Amino acid sequence: MAQLKSLTIRMYRGILGDCFLVRPTVVADGRETVKTILIDCGVLQNVAAGADMLAKLNAAVIKGAGKDRLAAVVAGPKQISAVAKDVLKEVDGRIDLLVITHEHFDHLSGFSAEKAGFLDKGLTIGRLWFAWTEDPKDQQAIDLRTRFRQAKQALAAAVSLTVRLGADAPAPLQNAAALAAFSGPLELPGLAANGQQSTADIVAMLKGKAGAAATSYLEPGQVIDLTEFGLKAYVLGPPRLEKLLKKDSPSAGPEKEVYVTQQDMAAAAQSTIMAQLALEANGGAAPIADDVTPFARIHHRPLKVPAKKGRTKRKEEMPRHAVADLYDEPASTWRKIDTDWTGSIEALALKMDSDTNNTSLALAFETADGQVLLFPGDAQVGNWLSWNNQTYPRERKSDSDPAPISAEDLLQRVTFYKAGHHGSHNATLKTLGLERMSDPRLTAAIPVVEAVAAIQGKGRTEAGKGWKMPYAKMYEDLKARTRGRIVQGDGDPAAECLAFTTNPTDTKNPVSVTHDDLWVELTYRFEMDG
Q: What pLDDT is recorded for position 27?
A: 95
Measured from the Cβ of residue 435, the count of other Cβ atoms closer than 10 Å reads: 12
Q: What pLDDT is recorded for position 408?
A: 97
CB-CB contact of 246 with 382 (8 Å): yes
pLDDT digits (tens, 9 = 90+) for 457-491: 788 889 999 989 999 999 999 999 999 999 999 99
| Dist CA 124 CA 256 (whole Å) | 47
| Weakest mean pLDDT among 184-188, 241-245, 328-332 | 184-188
Q: What pLDDT is recorded for position 173?
A: 65
Q: What pLDDT is recorded for position 130?
A: 97
Mean pLDDT for 437-466 is 93
Q: What pLDDT is recorded for position 163?
A: 67
Q: What pLDDT is recorded for position 287?
A: 47
| Weakest mean pLDDT among 96-100, 251-255, 496-500 | 251-255
Nearest to 102 by CA among 35, 155, 42: 42
- Cross-strand bridge partners of residue 188: 191
Q: How confident is the model at residue 313 (pLDDT cuts 50, 70, 90)?
A: low
Q: What pLDDT is recorded for position 77?
A: 93
Q: What pLDDT is recorded for position 326?
A: 73
Q: What pLDDT is recorded for position 291?
A: 47
| Dist CA 382 CA 237 (whole Å) | 10
3-state helix, strand, coil in the chain (%, to 5): 40, 20, 40
CB-CB contact of 287 with 293 (8 Å): yes
Q: How far is CA 52 from the centre of its chain?
A: 24
| Dist CA 13 CA 79 (whole Å) | 9
Q: Where are the domains of the chain?
A: 3-259+346-525, 295-336
- Cross-strand bridge partners of residue 367: 231
Q: How confident is the model at residue 258 (pLDDT cuts 50, 70, 90)?
A: very low
| Weakest mean pLDDT among 76-90, 292-306, 515-529 | 292-306
- At 417, the amino acid letter reads Y
Mean pLDDT for 315-322 is 60
Q: What pLDDT is recorded for position 365?
A: 98
DSSP 423: G
Burial of 12 (0-12, 13-18, 19+ CB in 10 A): buried
Q: What is the largest CA-CA distance in the chain?
A: 104
CB-CB contact of 382 with 237 (8 Å): no
Q: What pLDDT is recorded for position 358?
A: 79
Sign of the alpha-carbon torsion through 160, 165, 167, 169: negative
Quote the percentage of the chain above a pLDDT of 90. 57
SS3 193: coil
Report whether pLDDT(151) > 60: yes
* Residue 370 backbone zone (phi > 0: left; psi -120 to 50: alpha; other: beta): left
Q: What pLDDT is recorded for position 261?
A: 38
- Cross-strand bridge partners of residue 373: 365, 416
Q: Please report the DSSP string for 250-290 in residue order.
A: --SSTT------SHHHHHHHHHHHHHHHHHHHTTTSPPS-G
Q: What pLDDT is recorded for position 220?
A: 96
| Weakest mean pLDDT among 54-58, 336-340, 515-519 | 336-340
| Dist CA 203 CA 199 (whole Å) | 6
CB-CB contact of 179 with 342 (8 Å): no
H runs (alpha helix) in 282-428: 322-327, 342-357, 381-386, 407-412
Measured from the Cβ of residue 364, the count of other Cβ atoms closer than 10 Å reads: 22
Residue of 80 and 159 predicted with greater confidence: 80
Q: Please report the DSSP string for 9-60 in residue order.
A: EEEEPS-SS-EEEEEEEEEETTEEEE--EEEEE---TTPPPHHHHHHHS-HH
| Dist CA 327 CA 163 (whole Å) | 27
The chain-wide mean pLDDT, for the chain, equals: 83
Q: What pLDDT is recorded for position 207?
A: 97
